[in-house]
Structure 1
Amino acid sequence: MNTETQPLHFYKYQGAGNDFILVDNRSLFFNSDDYEAVSKLCDRRFGIGADGLMLLQSHPEFDFEMVYYNADGMPGSMCGNGGRCIVAFAKQLRLIDRETNFLAVDGPHYAKISPEGNWVELQMINVNQINRDGEAWVLDTGSPHYVLQTQGLDTLDVYSEGKAIRNNETYGAKGINVNFVEDFGDHLFVRTFERGVEDETYACGTGVTAVALAHAAATGKHGHISTPVKVLGGNLRIDFDHHHGQFTGIFLCGPAELVFTGTR
């Protein structure tokens, strides 16, 4: 398909304010190598507007395959909220019912979805390594993340502070996603600068997952842990088990909503 000249039927989803363009590409009509077209579709002034674009494709060993692109048009690493949204999309397409196993760039994922299709609990990859960079924690939850605790997060210049860390000499051209977290006792408040979007987003699924794990490491919490997280776009929850620096059974839980459909 030439994405510039032929009509494209798309679905717009959001998960806690993290928004995505979804395309049913089981027939492989969408030219997935046309990175410029993806970038134009994600543009908020001249396109549909989104934090990223996902293709749902067939796979012989899974219910479907998730192919993800950042807003800059380039193929991205794992997107947690995108994963939750594509599960809701698969349910809408009647590919799945209450559970699914699908393939993403970081490997297989299991997820379960509410009967109404608006709440998704997505299993993330296990995390066996967590490092320090000064006062910050650094770990990979399907995408690489930098986690720094702060205060007064509601007024922090996340764009400037996050951009500087994302582009510093330590992380180079590849960069890193930067998360700032404030602990309110009964929940964590998180704001994230995302590489690929190159801006603050309303939510980042792999980011809040990284924050929850880093918080458990920093506070010495072990066993089964459930961490409520507030983001600019709403509320999420991360459930996991922590034993001796090993994080398993990690689930990113939250809403996934169809916003609208259209043809471009």
Structure 2
Amino acid sequence: MLNTRPTDPLRPHFYKYQGAGNDFVLIDNRNQTFQYRDNNLVHQLCDRRFGVGADGLMLLQNHSEYDFEMLYFNADGNLGSMCGNGGRCIVAFAKHLGIIDKQTNFLAVDGPHYAKISEKGNWVDLQMIDVHTISRDGEAYVLNTGSPHYVAQVTALKEMDVFKQGSEIRNNATYKKEGINVNFVEDKGDHLFVRTFERGVEDETFACGTGVTAVALAIAKDQEKTGSQVTEIEVLGGNLRVGFHYDGQEFTKVFLCGPAELVFEGNIR
């Protein structure tokens, strides 16, 4: 039986999901009733004091060539680029709705994505885009994993003021116009510890899927780790895993893996 419910345009039903602490409002918009062009509404729903509270909002929509389409909005109300943890959460949402079972092919802003999901529906392996180019900005790496990312290696990351230093980089002369997500990474030996300042949220988040993906690839390039690799990553909200193949020139078969859990649901007044 499909887990669907009618949507009143004046009282749309929403679901709250989180993936390693990166949280989202999700709405089944296959009937096109949610007024997503109202940026103020999206911003209000993501507000943690006056709304549901989330790092972003996603709409699941019909698509003629894919299982569904993912439409992602940043917490500021504007359409966003690809969100990796959001992509994993919307796959879990699609399973909850009965649209998919064990795997899916869906469309996002950066193109088609394949994903597979656990039987219980709380763990998702999401294939990300291939990455052909990584550039440098001083000692940092800059790359696009569906969203643009800046990766800087640091020490004593736990004590670092990520909001201050991330905001300064995101708003400097190079990146202010388009914005960039700023990732700080500390190599812990058996895993990487990552903290991220996200554009659109304009704050540090508990996790960033495209961010940890960018970090894993940048560190592999920095350490010249070729072949098939799996990188374990610790974030403030839990743990994620990034798998990929690196031939010394480009990254393919890139997968972002981690939890995706339904927190609660309700109606918006």
Normalised to the residue count of structure 2, the TM-score between the two structures is 0.96
Letter in 1 for 2:214: A
Q: Percent identity?
A: 69
Letter in 2 for 1:193: F
Cα distance in 2, alignment partners of residues 17 and 244 from structure 1: 33
Please give the secondary structure, in 2, of the residue aligned with 1:59: coil
Deviation track 1:34-66 (CA, whole Å, cap 9, x = no partner) reads 111000000000000000000000000000000
Say yes or no: does 1:36 pair with 2:57. Answer: no
Cα distance in 2, alignment partners of residues 163 and 125 from structure 1: 26
Return the match for 2:238 from 234, 237, 254. Answer: 234
Runs of 5+ unmatched residues, structure 2: 1-6
Normalised to the residue count of structure 1, the TM-score between the two structures is 0.98
**In structure 1, what is the equivalent of residue 224 of structure 2?**
220
Cα distance in 1, alignment partners of residues 69 and 217 from structure 2: 27
Question: Are 2:224 and 2:248, in contact at CA under 8 Å, matched by a contact in 1?
Answer: no
- Work out the number of aligned pairs and report it: 262
Cα distance in 2, alignment partners of residues 216 and 116 from structure 1: 32
- How far is 1:8 from its partner? 1.7
**In structure 2, what is the equivalent of residue 254 of structure 1?**
258
Deviation track 1:60-101 (CA, whole Å, cap 9, x = no partner) reads 000000000000000000000000000000000000000000
Cα distance in 1, alignment partners of residues 44 and 260 from structure 2: 24
Return the match for 1:135 from 133, 139, 154. Answer: 139
- How far is 1:172 from its partner? 2.6
Say yes or no: does 1:208 pair with 2:177. Answer: no
**Superposed counterparts of 1:109-128, under 5 Å:** 109-128=113-132
Cα distance in 1, alignment partners of residues 176 and 261 from structure 2: 35
Say yes or no: does 1:193 pair with 2:217. Answer: no
Cα distance in 1, alignment partners of residues 129 and 187 from structure 2: 24
Q: Which 4+ stretches in 1 moved above 2 angstroms? A: none
Cα distance in 1, alignment partners of residues 36 and 132 from structure 2: 33
Question: Are 2:221 and 2:248, in contact at CA under 8 Å, matched by a contact in 1?
Answer: no
Cα distance in 1, alignment partners of residues 102 and 186 from structure 2: 34
Return the match for 2:53 from 49, 53, 61. Answer: 49
Letter in 1 for 2:49: R
Letter in 2 for 1:111: A
**In structure 1, what is the equivalent of residue 4 of structure 2?**
none
**In structure 1, what is the equivalent of residue 69 of structure 2?**
65
Letter in 2 for 1:161: Q
Provide the aligned C-alpha RMSD in A.
1.2
Cα distance in 1, alignment partners of residues 250 and 156 from structure 2: 31
Say yes or no: does 1:165 pair with 2:169. Answer: yes
Question: Are 2:118 and 2:124, in contact at CA under 8 Å, matched by a contact in 1?
Answer: yes
Say yes or no: does 1:87 pair with 2:91. Answer: yes
Letter in 2 for 1:129: T
